[in-house]
Amino acid sequence: MTPAPAPQDTVRTALLDAVTGVAEDIAALLRSRPGTDRPIPGARWTVGEAAAHLALANELMAALAAGEQRSYGDGTPDSLAAANEDSLAAYPERDAAVLADAIVRHARAFTDSCAGRPASAPVLTPLGPMDLGTLASYLLTHMLGHGYDLAVALRRPHMVDRHRVALTLPFLMTAMPRVVDGRTAAGHTARYDLRVRGGGRFTVTFRDGVAEVSPEVAGRADCTILTEPVTFLLLALGRCSPFAVLARGKVLAWGRKPWLALGFPLLFTAP
């Protein structure tokens, strides 16, 4: 009898399948609306610039997964934004079909490289060191964020769903302490119990403005936040307002200090 795959192997397969699936969904979006000069609402980029950024980022991630060493900013949001603009200026391609092909090609190169290396292999990424499994979650998160932007701009259905959101949690938990906004978090001390409806729970503890994330329930929380999965990711990536989603009942909060839920997303700079 063939042994059942280990749980971590099942998750890894689902994650790599999601990487190629989202890349293909983004490519289909671009091919359905070939004009790339349309602006993205609420952003400085056009559709073509966001698609070019995705092609470049997927190529970078594929290189990292293959074991190459690449520098890209110093891990701070400002340096990453500058590196993004520099890379876009050096890459003038804006044809939708060409970019669609590149996004898928590099995503597949990424998964091919991951298949030949252990998930625990260390890599140095634009947001600092992490293992290869978390890098795959990073790539998925990055594509979902920009893929959502493209869908909004092109007025097409987006590709964010609860199954894909669950696969972004390893990266988001790793990234949170690295993207704390020093201005809004200065001096902040509180413990948050974050729950994603349908699965996923972790604790974020702030001590004097420094965040620590634990996959376990670490003591009594000041504020428990329960979020619908798609809303959770869009909030984490700065794609929606905490005030609007609270008003629509997409986020529920309780505990000793439930009002802290409103300000929680503002303690971070979206990666």
In-domain check, residue 115: yes
Record the pTM: 0.93
How far is residue 120's CA from residue 224's CA, in Å, rounded to a whole number?
31
Task: State whether 108 and 193 are in the same domain.
Answer: no
Domain, as residue range, for 82: 7-159
* DSSP 8-state secondary structure symbol assigned to residue 84: H
Q: Please check whether residues 19 and 80 belong to one and the same domain.
A: yes
Give me the amino acid identity at 74.
D
CATH code, 149: 1.20.120.450
| Contact criterion met (CB below 8 Å) for 141 and 172 | yes
How crowded is the C-beta side of 216, counted as CA atoms within 13 Å?
Answer: 2
How confident is the model at residue 8, as a pLDDT?
66
| Statement to judge: residues 189 and 87 lie in one domain | no
Chosen domain end from 106, 132, 159: 159
pLDDT of residue 7: 55
Is 164 inside a domain boundary? Answer: no
The reply to whether 169 falls in a domain is no
82 lies in a domain? yes
For residue 221, tell me if it sits in a domain. Answer: yes
Whether residue 1 lies inside any domain: the answer is no
Cα→Cα distances 44→4, 149, 175, 264, Å: 48, 11, 24, 25
Q: Per the domain annotation, does 194 fall within a domain?
A: yes
Closest CA to 150 of 83, 91, 99: 99
> How far is Cα of residue 97 from the mean position of the Cα atoms in its chain?
24
189 and 94 both lie in a single domain: no
Total number of domains constituting the chain: 2
Q: Look up residue 169 and give its two tokens.
A: 């949690």
End-of-domain residue from the set 96, 128, 159: 159
Clarify whether residues 140 and 188 are in a common domain. Answer: no
Asked if the structure places residue 133 within a domain, the reply is yes
- Same structural domain, 197 and 224: yes
**83 touches 74 (CB < 8 A):** no
Using CA atoms, how far apart are residues 256 and 269, in angstroms rounded to an integer?
Answer: 26
Check which CATH number belongs to the domain holding 246 and give it: 3.30.1050.10
Decide which of 110, 130, 159 is a domain's last residue: 159
Shared domain check, 149 and 203: no
137 lies in the same domain as 186: no
Question: What is the token pair recorded at 245?
Answer: 């989603």
User: Is there a single domain that holds both residue 92 and residue 51?
Assistant: yes
Q: Which two three-digit tokens encode residue 247?
A: 């008003």
- In tens digits, the chain (271 residues) has pLDDT values of 433 444 567 778 899 999 999 999 999 999 998 789 999 998 899 999 999 999 999 999 999 999 999 888 887 888 888 999 999 999 999 999 999 999 999 999 999 999 889 999 999 999 999 999 999 999 999 999 999 999 999 999 999 999 999 999 999 999 999 999 999 999 999 999 999 998 889 999 999 999 999 998 777 999 999 999 999 999 999 998 888 887 788 899 999 999 999 999 999 988 6
| Burial grade of 270 (CB within 10 A; 0-12, 13-18, 19 or more) | middle
Q: Tell me: do 142 and 183 sit in the same domain.
A: no
Do 69 and 193 fall into the same domain?
no
- Is residue 126 domain-shared with residue 35, that is, in the same domain? yes
Report CA Rg, the chain. Answer: 19
Helix (H) or strand (E) holding 128: strand 128-131
